[in-house]
């Protein structure tokens, strides 16, 4: 039971990672792998600020801003210095490793005895409610951000962002500086990813320099599961619904992780299970159409 | 309106593949002129249009629009003045976005896209009215992603998008070339009507001699990066496809 609740809470916290990857991968068509660094950046900055006694809400906000800046760095290297997109992400991600160590001053920071956004729930008498409270908070946050993003991508600015990923020639002809759009977009994506790192650290009760390693695949997994789900509902275009599916994808994926651990596999086996699972999810739509005898 | 002075563009300068796409082209186009541009493959027609739109900085020379030097301005900085339709029907529209969303962006060409919902009911009604002008029934499908439309429909929409906000200059680069004869004719009729209605200054590249003869008020023939022939008024009006083909042959003989 605890395990399931834990999986749901973490799934919701990691949903922001999925949404961030969704923005770069699906909206901007950009393979951003800054995530490994920016998720840890969110976690480590939150840990350092909370330990210094900063208000938890401010710490979360600061983490998002830091993530945004990390993303703009990747975007600027890609657009202004004309470095390959993947490489731009790798460069920033690598640099962030040192930055994150500097921020924490060590490789791991416990958050057991400091005040976090989840501290108010610790005093709830009812044990079930105490476990449910963080889930409700995360659910509220996820819902708020999905609503916000849904609104954002319907504004004139948001339409221009989507068109930048969809057809750069067209949107440049409408007078949009596409470089600037990409930098802002990758920034927003990494702000969400850093938020994810911040929430995960506070929920788990520690930030660790390794918490982001390979995390990009988790994000990809939620996006791909999300797309498959949205496809089942025949939804290929509406962003709000696609984001909800990404969040569900993130929770399902955490469930799978929990299940893997509960059948006795070692945590170190998680990465290969993840990789195989992601591969299967990618193959699923192809397998379905193959069964129906349709050429792809 | 458009003043081009000694414009030169060299691709791959200093490499074995060096191409002089434009050689000291000088050209003045008045407001309201409908200029048809013809010429063999690689003669520099698209390069000329791209230079006007700001797709790249020229190697030398100047371009001014409405008396203002725009030579160093990027394409998006010039977008306020320029409407474009490309040869490829896929180039002018964002496929995963709806017709309405594409049209909304086009009606903001060259002006800032703000953080507010611009595509409200009033705007939808306006876009519905404008797209009805095309006479293709697209006004009932405003919520359809543009990628699901045919090439002809997409090209007609691109034309509408280019002119939704009146541009100072309309650039059409073989915009009917990828369409079947019927759609091509339909898009050409639309072009003629929109250009007339809004008195648009237009440059239209075509390989179709019939199109070149029947449309426009002026004709340019490009050859190896230069303007080899510039016909206006009566000289343009008296053209037939046969005369044009004769001119092409003359150029080929001269080149030998
Ligand atoms: N980006 C580029 N890089 C290198 N060479 C180019 C580039 N664009 C055009 N060229 C070359 O410049 C010359 C002029 O090309 P342009 O596209 O202007 O010709 P065009 O008259 O439009 O021909 P077409 O009728 O085939 O469209 C050609 O030789 C072409 O190969
Ligand atoms: Mg061309």
**Per the domain annotation, does B30 fall within a domain?**
yes
Distance between CA atoms of residues A270 and A266, nearest Å: 7
Is the Cβ pair B79, A175 closer than 8 Å? yes
CA distances from B249 to A42, A208, A223, B238, B256 (A): 69, 75, 59, 19, 11
Q: The whole model's pTM is what? A: 0.91
Nearest alpha-carbon partner for B157 in B109, B205, B185, B190: B190
pLDDT at A289: 67
**Per the domain annotation, does B75 fall within a domain?**
yes
Distance between CA atoms of residues B154 and B141, nearest Å: 13
**Per the domain annotation, does A294 fall within a domain?**
no
A80-127: per-residue pLDDT in tens? 999 999 999 999 999 999 999 999 999 999 999 999 999 999 888 898
Q: What are phi and psi of B60, to 5 degrees?
A: -160, 170
**Per the domain annotation, does A56 fall within a domain?**
yes
- The secondary structure of residue B98, as a DSSP letter, is B
Q: What is the mean pLDDT of residues B139-159?
A: 94
Is the Cβ pair B93, A173 closer than 8 Å? no
Pick A9 or B252 by higher pLDDT.
A9
- Measured between beta carbons, the chain A residues lying within 8 angstroms of B79 are 172-176
**Per the domain annotation, does A7 fall within a domain?**
yes
Q: What is the mean pLDDT of residues B227-237?
A: 89
A127-162: per-residue pLDDT in tens? 889 989 999 999 999 999 999 999 999 999 999 999
H helices of B20-119, in order, are: 45-53, 75-78, 99-107
**Per the domain annotation, does B103 fall within a domain?**
no
Distance between CA atoms of residues B106 and B119, nearest Å: 12
Distance between CA atoms of residues A164 and A25, nearest Å: 12
**Per the domain annotation, does A270 fall within a domain?**
no
| C-alpha B44 to ligand 1 mean position (Å) | 6
| C-alpha B87 to ligand 1 mean position (Å) | 13
Residue nearest to atom 24 of ligand 1 (CA): B41
Ligand 1 closest atom vs CA B48: 18
**Per the domain annotation, does B232 fall within a domain?**
yes
Q: What is the mean pLDDT of residues A203-209?
A: 96
CB-based contact B93:B158 (threshold 8 Å): yes
CB-based contact A145:A136 (threshold 8 Å): no
Sign of CA dihedral A161, A165, A171, A172: positive
Is the Cβ pair B94, A172 closer than 8 Å? no
Q: What is the extent of the structural domain holding B164?
A: 2-95+150-255
**Per the domain annotation, does A271 fall within a domain?**
no
pLDDT at A2: 64
- Residue of chain A whose alpha carbon sits nearest to that of B77: A175
- Residue of chain A whose alpha carbon sits nearest to that of B83: A173
H helices of chain A, in order, are: 2-22, 35-51, 56-79, 85-104, 127-152, 156-166, 168-173, 178-204, 215-232, 239-262, 270-291
Count of alpha carbons within 13 angstroms of residue A82, beta-carbon side = 0
Q: Which residues surround ligand 2, an ion (CB under 5 A)?
A: B 46
pLDDT at A234: 77
B23-75: per-residue pLDDT in tens? 999 999 999 999 999 999 999 999 999 999 999 999 999 999 998 999 999 98
Distance between CA atoms of residues A213 and A259, nearest Å: 21
How many domains are contained in chain B?
1
Placement of tokens 């930055």 in the chain: A99
What CATH number is given to the structural domain containing B31?
A: 3.40.50.300
Helix axis angle, A215-232 to A270-291, nearest 10°:
20
Ligand 1 closest atom vs CA B43: 21
How many domains are contained in chain A?
1
Is the Cβ pair B76, A172 closer than 8 Å? yes
Question: Quick one: what percent of chain B has pLDDT higher than 70?
Answer: 100
**Per the domain annotation, does B131 fall within a domain?**
no
**Per the domain annotation, does A273 fall within a domain?**
no
Pick B220 or A296 by higher pLDDT.
B220
pLDDT at A293: 57
Is the Cβ pair A169, B77 closer than 8 Å? no
**Per the domain annotation, does A295 fall within a domain?**
no
Pairing of β B226-232 and β B218-223: antiparallel
Count of alpha carbons within 13 angstroms of residue B21, beta-carbon side = 20
Q: Is the CB of B21 under 6 A from ligand 1?
A: yes
**Per the domain annotation, does B107 fall within a domain?**
no
Of the partner residues B84, B102, B116, the one whose CB lies closest to the CB of residue A155: B116
User: 3-class DSSP state for residue B229?
Assistant: strand
CA distances from B232 to A281, B1, B37, B223 (A): 63, 17, 12, 18
Test site for ligand 1: of B47, B48, B207, B220, most ligand atoms within 8 A of the Cβ = B47
Q: What is the extent of the structural domain holding A98?
A: 2-211
Q: What is the mean pLDDT of residues A8-26?
A: 96
- Computed over every residue of chain B, the mean pLDDT equals 93
Q: Is the CB of B44 under 6 A from ligand 1?
A: yes
A241-284: per-residue pLDDT in tens? 999 999 999 999 888 888 888 888 887 888 888 888 888 877 87
- Measured between beta carbons, the chain B residues lying within 8 angstroms of A175 are 76-77, 79-80, 108-111
Pairing of β B82-85 and β B169-173: parallel
Nearest alpha-carbon partner for B97 in A90, A285, A27: A27
**Per the domain annotation, does A93 fall within a domain?**
yes
Ligand 1 closest atom vs CA B44: 18
| C-alpha B42 to ligand 2 mean position (Å) | 7
ipTM: 0.90
């Amino acid at each position: 039971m605890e395990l399931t609740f834990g999986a749901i809470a973490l799934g919701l916290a990691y949903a922001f990672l999925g949404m961030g990857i969704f923005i770069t991968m699906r909206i901007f068509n950009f393979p951003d792998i800054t995530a490994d660094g920016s998720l840890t950046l969110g976690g480590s900055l939150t840990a350092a600020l909370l330990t210094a006694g900063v208000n938890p809400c401010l710490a979360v906000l600061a983490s998002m801003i830091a993530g945004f800046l990390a993303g703009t760095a990747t975007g600027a290297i890609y657009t202004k210095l004309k470095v390959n997109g993947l490489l731009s992400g790798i460069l920033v991600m690598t640099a962030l490793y040192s930055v994150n160590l500097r921020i924490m001053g060590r490789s791991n920071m416990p958050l057991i005895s400091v005040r976090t956004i989840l501290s108010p729930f610790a005093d709830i008498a009812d044990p079930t409610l105490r476990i449910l409270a963080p889930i409700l908070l995360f659910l509220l946050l996820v819902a708020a951000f999905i609503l916000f993003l849904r609104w954002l991508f319907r504004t004139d600015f948001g339409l221009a962002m989507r068109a930048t990923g969809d057809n750069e020639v067209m949107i440049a002809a409408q007078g949009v500086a596409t470089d600037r759009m990409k930098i802002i977009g990758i920034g927003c994506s990494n702000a969400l990813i850093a938020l994810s790192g911040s929430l995960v650290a506070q929920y788990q009760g520690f930030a660790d320099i390794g918490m982001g390693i390979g995390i990009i695949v988790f994000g990809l997994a939620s996006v791909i599961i999300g797309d498959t789900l949205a496809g089942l509902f025949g939804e290929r275009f509406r962003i709000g619904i696609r984001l909800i599916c990404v969040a569900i994808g993130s929770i399902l994926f955490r469930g799978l992780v929990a299940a893997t651990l509960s059948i006795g596999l070692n945590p170190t086996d998680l990465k290969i299970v993840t990789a195989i699972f992601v591969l299967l999810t990618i193959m699923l739509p192809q397998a379905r159409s193959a069964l129906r005898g349709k050429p792809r | 309106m458009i003043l081009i002075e000694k414009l030169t563009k060299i691709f791959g300068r200093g490499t074995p593949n060096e191409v002089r796409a434009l050689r000291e082209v000088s050209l003045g186009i008045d407001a309201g002129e409908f200029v048809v541009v013809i010429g063999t493959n690689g003669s520099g027609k698209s390069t000329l249009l791209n230079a006007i739109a700001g797709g790249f900085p020229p190697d030398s020379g100047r371009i001014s629009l409405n008396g203002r030097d725009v030579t160093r301005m990027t394409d998006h900085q010039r977008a306020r003045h320029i409407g474009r339709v490309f040869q490829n029907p896929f180039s002018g529209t964002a496929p995963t976005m709806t017709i309405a969303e594409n049209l909304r962006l086009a009606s903001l060409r060259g002006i800032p896209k703000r953080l507010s919902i611009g595509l409200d009911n009033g705007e939808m009604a306006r876009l519905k009215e404008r797209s009805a002008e095309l006479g293709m029934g697209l006004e009932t499908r405003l919520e359809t992603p543009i990628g699901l439309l045919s090439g002809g429909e997409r090209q007609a929409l691109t034309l509408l998008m280019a002119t939704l906000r009146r541009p100072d200059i309309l650039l059409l680069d073989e915009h009917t070339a990828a369409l079947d004869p019927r759609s091509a004719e339909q898009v050409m009729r639309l072009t003629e009507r929109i250009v007339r209605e809004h008195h648009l200054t237009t440059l239209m590249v075509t390989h179709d001699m019939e199109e070149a003869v029947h449309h426009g008020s002026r004709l340019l023939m490009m050859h190896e990066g230069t303007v080899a022939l510039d016909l206006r008024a009566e000289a343009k009006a008296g053209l037939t496809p046969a005369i044009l083909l004769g001119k092409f042959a003359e150029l080929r003989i001269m080149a030998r």
